[in-house]
Chain A
């Protein structure tokens, strides 16, 4: 306890300093910007074309665009559940509505990718205003269920009474036009740029992806980030310090809906299609799974969750024999991860790195496990 420990303690302190510096840097907006740009630029290459890595992942370029779009959706959903603590089982309402609005605007009014995406986002926000007026009176499970009901209402509305407009199960086609009238989205690059981003469509989605990451990072660093968390933790207290909780929830709902709508609009541009299945309740369920699997309340978590989900659906699905069970395997992995780490995959990674940083605590834990369950329980109790 005395002289033996002096040397390691000094070492600990010097490494602690660099860890502190790293902790400061990793939360700066500049760092998050560089990381997200770096990720967007290399994701497609690493996943689908890089030597060795892509042989393991067996990825393909088209899937990376889909993953980026759904990551935007998961980030938007997380803004409501992870930040503000409101669980919606009806987020397909934003995704599907924006998809339709994008397609309809391109068909009937004006077809330019950026314009129709903006229209899609605005339509999702408009749906959000109406839904919020109904939903924000409700709490917990009632909120979740009525959100589901509103989503399903829109689904049935689109599939039957409005069939003339939505073309029902056949859906709508979105013709691809040049961005701002000049840039062809289908343009294929050669050389290094071709290796990295392949085409302009990927760049188009990638720019939105980075923008959404930065937008949400800024919200988290704004007063809203703190107030959303306060509402999640203790709504009564938040109102008794003088905050208009309803309005802040309304804002969270619209921000979440808008970002989710952006994903729906981008998907319409990407697939050149908008269909009724994007309003279906299973979409709302999928997005909950992606966000929870990756880790709620963080930026990285929902992105990881989306990746894993699509990895199972897009890649594992294609494996011989095993592929037929992709959904089962996803479900088992989901249950295992969330059971052991309620904060999802990203929560698992952060808690593991924290343990690695603190070797003593790790050693104590390993020792406790090795000496038997009763000891482990005792040490757990002590930590609390």
Chain B
């Protein structure tokens, strides 16, 4: 059985159908990508799966659990993490504190009565925080206030926060947007590390086609809220509907 499955997932905003009968299935350990022109409904799909939006109809099943109607924090707690398209960090906190907040959520659950215990007494949280900072290579900036980070580092911190929630499935919403070529390369390496070494199933939304076709196991193509194609990178590259709707449109 697939790790994540949506069935007839539909989201309407008033008269506008942002998602129509989307059926996707993600297997454990896969790296799948979601592509589609602007306004295709990519962010809506992520938001609907991770609990930010409630679907108009259809189901979302993660490891046998129905996610529809669950709160975002509950979805995060069962192992579905996400990073945001616009760096959604905690600006006045240091880099370490940003990661630590997520590490507390991962290690202690959604709520715990521990307001009389010192933060530094929770070794497992400190350990997880250090590991993440090390992996994302932000350890030398750990004590920096995150608002003052350069843009690329903010995006990496965004990934670090998502990672610190200890997800089994991680949604990454355009992690390389606005990054320099070097930063993009680092991020791509990181994504591959997360899949291969951390064993995390990755669901990537990405505009950079080179990245998508290089690292994805499978690709979903969304167009005007409908899933028009799914398959391996080779299948998608030659798929007539994709060329028509997306790649073709871009070449003109």
- A242 close to B73 (CB less than 8 A): yes
Give chain B nearest CB distance to A31 CB in angstroms: 15
Question: Does B13 reach chain A (CB closer than 8 Å)?
Answer: no
- B114 close to A226 (CB less than 8 A): no
Interface residues on B, range: 35 or more
User: Which chain A residues lie closer than 8 Å to B73 at the CB level?
Assistant: 239-245
- A221 close to B88 (CB less than 8 A): no
User: Which chain B residues lie closer than 8 Å to A330 at the CB level?
Assistant: none
Which B residues are within 8 Å of any A CB, using their own CB?
50, 52, 71-73, 76-77, 81-82, 84, 88-93, 97, 100-102, 104-106, 108-120, 122, 125, 161, 164-165
A residues 244-280 touching B (CB-CB < 8 Å): 244-245, 247-248, 251, 255
- A242 close to B165 (CB less than 8 A): yes
- B115 close to A241 (CB less than 8 A): no
Q: Which of B77, B110, B165 gathers the greatest number of chain A CB atoms within 10 Å? A: B110
Given the interface pairs A243-B101, A245-B73, A248-B111, the reply to whether A222 lies near B118 with Cβ below 8 Å is yes
- B118 close to A241 (CB less than 8 A): no
CA distance A242 to B161 in the complex (A): 11
CA distance A225 to B115 in the complex (A): 8
Nearest CB to that of B158 among chain A residues? Answer: A237
User: Which chain A residues lie closer than 8 Å to B97 at the CB level?
Assistant: 226, 229
- A223 close to B110 (CB less than 8 A): no
CA distance A243 to B107 in the complex (A): 11
Give chain B nearest CB distance to A24 CB in angstroms: 13
User: Which chain B residues lie closer than 8 Å to A247 at the CB level?
Assistant: 110-111
* Cβ-defined partner of B119 (8 Å) among A221, A233, A238, A244: A221
Q: Which of B72, B84, B116 gathers the greatest number of chain A CB atoms within 10 Å? A: B72
CA distance A237 to B89 in the complex (A): 7
User: Which chain A residues lie closer than 8 Å to B52 at the CB level?
Assistant: 236, 240
The interface on chain A, measured as residues whose beta carbon lies within 8 A of the other chain's beta carbons, has a size of 27
CA distance A237 to B157 in the complex (A): 13
Nearest CB to that of B148 among chain A residues? Answer: A384
A-B contact pairs, 5 of them (CB 8 A): A222-B117, A226-B119, A237-B161, A240-B88, A242-B106
User: Which chain A residues lie closer than 8 Å to B104 at the CB level?
Assistant: 223, 226-227, 243
Question: Does A224 reach chain B (CB closer than 8 Å)?
Answer: yes
Give chain A nearest CB distance to B213 CB in angstroms: 29
Given the interface pairs A223-B104, A223-B117, A223-B122, the reply to whether A230 lies near B90 with Cβ below 8 Å is yes
Give chain B nearest CB distance to A23 CB in angstroms: 12
A residues 78-97 touching B (CB-CB < 8 Å): none
Give chain B nearest CB distance to A1 CB in angstroms: 25
A-B CB proximity, top 4 nearest:
A242-B76, A242-B105, A244-B110, A241-B102
Given the interface pairs A240-B73, A242-B76, A244-B73, the reply to whether A234 lies near B89 with Cβ below 8 Å is yes
Nearest CB to that of B119 among chain A residues? Answer: A223
User: Which chain B residues lie closer than 8 Å to A233 at the CB level?
Assistant: 90-93
Question: Does A367 reach chain B (CB closer than 8 Å)?
Answer: no
User: Which chain B residues lie closer than 8 Å to A225 at the CB level?
Assistant: 119
Nearest CB to that of B117 among chain A residues? Answer: A222
Question: Does A190 reach chain B (CB closer than 8 Å)?
Answer: no
* Cβ-defined partner of A242 (8 Å) among B90, B110, B115, B122: B110
CA distance A221 to B102 in the complex (A): 16
CA distance A219 to B101 in the complex (A): 15
Question: Does A218 reach chain B (CB closer than 8 Å)?
Answer: yes
- B119 close to A241 (CB less than 8 A): no
* Cβ-defined partner of B114 (8 Å) among A223, A238, A240, A241: A223
Q: Which of A219, A226, A242, A251 gathers the greatest number of chain B CB atoms within 10 Å? A: A242
- A243 close to B91 (CB less than 8 A): no
User: Which chain A residues lie closer than 8 Å to B71 at the CB level?
Assistant: 239, 244
- B108 close to A241 (CB less than 8 A): no
Give chain B nearest CB distance to A354 CB in angstroms: 14
A residues 97-122 touching B (CB-CB < 8 Å): none
Give chain B nearest CB distance to A234 CB in angstroms: 5
CA distance A227 to B71 in the complex (A): 18
